[in-house]
Structure 1
């Protein structure tokens, strides 16, 4: 796994930083009340602005691209994207949590009609325990090759191995040739395991030989799940996705050089065409 510099998109770092500052400074963008938000700790607006910069800098996101946000939650990534995507671009946010989708429709779609949100009634022990569907039985409701950029931030860190495999297959299908996947994980390799062993992380995963998925010790089911880097590499290659450079290390394990808290994977769908 690489540090941040290895995957840097050298054509846009200044632009990315500019948009991040713009979003952080814009106090008129909607923000949920603390009791409405279910996306974890940290500053809601600052984290969204941080990821907008990461999407541009490392994902190569362009303003005219059509974007799918898997696990959009309560709009933490959508809100900064309203300040970057063109009015002609299409953003679709999907989530299993109905309350987050309702909030996004009321606060975002009414101002930015090209930003739409859809509820997926998939079972999830944290966010939709009464869900009636399973992702491997009910595919995402989108046509093949309909998006240029797919976001999955803090999604695969809460899912089972079977869920992740199903979503990867579906996300690869809805990506256009040359489209990009930007996803975050807790990835386990020798350096991450060593850092956890030194007490550098508030998360600890019980490591077992022969396993690819691990749940954090002492937390409710699916609160935090980690995967071996090799497992994610196989997922990419098995679904026609090629990494855009090395995986980017996060700071969650206590290892040095983290680009953000979770590890970042950027991959491109194979094919002759690229998003224009």
Structure 2
């Protein structure tokens, strides 16, 4: 019920609501020096610093990242994943991120790039039901602003969970283009297989709007949450030039075995 009310608001109204709700907390709360006020954080619940550090461990374990690695953060949000990299990358390393929400990019540029010039963030104003309705530019037509084989590691956390199939397939092509050969992309998804379909019936994350190869939770705000049929999306990973190096189902549907995080984590290696 609360989720439906929240999604009924416009993207600007959601951002404003968060600032209002968290204003009393932000007024007195102690924060990490690179942590934004809670009212500015629009990318999921939970502990901002802790989640970033947890995923950073996944990046080190599965992404083969080094202090001189060239990192691409697709959907960089408000810097949650960037913070741990600030004490890891050396001057030869680089961190580039882009996002559809100007608020996040502006905050990252002012608070991270100002201290770490090898970290840069770009605003890419693309249309998205959840985050940005002020443009007609679509993700399926967006060319990443980077040269071929520029990066050693790319990742997307809670990005493909908010994108329609044509957009996802185009992004996979672009990721393959800008990623160096044999390098890794870590991405989170909501993946529908027989187990998750059965378990989600008693979960708050029930993708009831079935569109065949993908399913939605809310038909009015389609990109609020998008889940993909496993066979469909895995076949496209291969078609786009990747192999699935690891797959860790998430706990979102009620799974408890072989899980790492709330969303499903997929480790893709460029062929």
- Per the TM superposition, whether the score is higher than 0.5 is yes
Secondary structure in structure 1 of the residue aligned to 2:137 = coil
Residue 109 (structure 2) aligns with? 105
Bigger CA drift: 176-185 or 83-92? 83-92
Secondary structure in structure 2 of the residue aligned to 1:237 = helix
Task: Supply the distance in 1 between the matched residues of 2:66 and 2:209 (Cα, whole angstroms).
Answer: 39
Structure 2 stretches of 5 or more lacking a match? 1-30
List aligned pairs for 1:90-239, cutoff 5 A.
Answer: 90-197=94-201, 199=202, 201-206=203-208, 208=210, 211-217=212-218, 220-239=221-240
Q: Please, what TM-score do these two structures have when normalized by structure 2?
A: 0.84
Query: Does 2:67 align with 1:63?
Result: yes
Contact map agreement 2:154 2:184 (CA 8 A) in 1 = yes
Per-residue CA deviation, residues 208-250 of structure 1 (Å, 9 max, x unaligned), is 4x711111158733111100111221121111111113x1111
The higher relative CO (CA closer than 8 Å, separation ≥ 6) is in: 1
Query: Does 2:270 align with 1:269?
Result: yes
Contact map agreement 1:66 1:148 (CA 8 A) in 2 = yes
Contact map agreement 1:121 1:132 (CA 8 A) in 2 = no
Contact map agreement 1:31 1:45 (CA 8 A) in 2 = yes
Query: Does 2:270 align with 1:252?
Result: no
Task: Supply the distance in 1 between the matched residues of 2:120 and 2:260 (Cα, whole angstroms).
Answer: 29
Task: Supply the distance in 2 between the matched residues of 1:60 and 1:219 (Cα, whole angstroms).
Answer: 40
Structure 1 stretches of 5 or more lacking a match? 1-26, 271-276
Equivalent pairs counted in the alignment come to 240
Instruction: Give how far 1:251 is off.
Output: 0.6
Contact map agreement 2:140 2:167 (CA 8 A) in 1 = yes
Residue 23 (structure 2) aligns with? none
Cα RMSD after superposing both structures: 1.6
Task: Supply the distance in 1 between the matched residues of 2:263 and 2:61 (Cα, whole angstroms).
Answer: 16
* Structure with a larger share of its residues in helix: 2
Instruction: Give how far 1:102 is off.
Output: 0.3
Secondary structure in structure 2 of the residue aligned to 1:116 = strand
Instruction: Give how far 1:61 is off.
Output: 2.4
Secondary structure in structure 2 of the residue aligned to 1:108 = helix
